[in-house]
Amino acid sequence: MSKQIKHLQMKNFVNKYVDIYSSDSKYSGIMLSTDSHMNVLIKDCVEVQMKSENKRLLGLIMLKGDQIQFIVPSNIQQQAIVVAEKKEVVKAKVNVPKLPGGLKGLPGLRK
């Protein structure tokens, strides 16, 4: 696949939550920008080391394209897609009669 096609596909992830995997870590955050060398600029980045599961907040970082193995939408983004795909709940169009208020005769329950 040519670099130009990869660059265009990476543009689909701009301003979205992504998980970026390298050989030893996973980086999660919002992808701000990318270039033709597949370098990536990420904000609100959290690094998770694969072996030790240690997490650390990095903030704004740039990852070199040669360190990146693959990029996927983050679980946060996937959940948003699932919610968006759910059909709207349609409310019943039948009028429901109102019940009389209160239960007379039972202590503590008043109108």
Q: Which one, of 75, 65, 73, lies nearest residue 22 by Cα? A: 65
Number of domains comprising the chain: 1
Read off the CATH number of the domain in which 35 is found: 2.30.30.100
Q: How confident is the model at residue 90 (pLDDT cuts 50, 70, 90)?
A: very low
- The residues, ordered by sequence, that sit 6+ positions from 28 with a Cβ below 8 Å of its Cβ are 17, 18, 19, 20, 45, 46, 48, 74
What is the percentage of the chain residues whose pLDDT exceeds 70? Answer: 60
Q: What is the pLDDT of residue 53?
A: 84
Read off the pLDDT of residues 38-69 as tens digits, 9 standing for 90 and up. Answer: 899 999 899 999 898 888 898 899 999 899 99
Q: Is 19 helix (H, G, I), strand (E, B) or coil?
A: strand
Residues 105 and 107: their CA atoms lie apart, in Å, by 6
- 95 in any annotated domain: no
In a domain, 48, yes or no: yes
The answer to whether position 18 is within a domain reads: yes
pLDDT at 8: 60
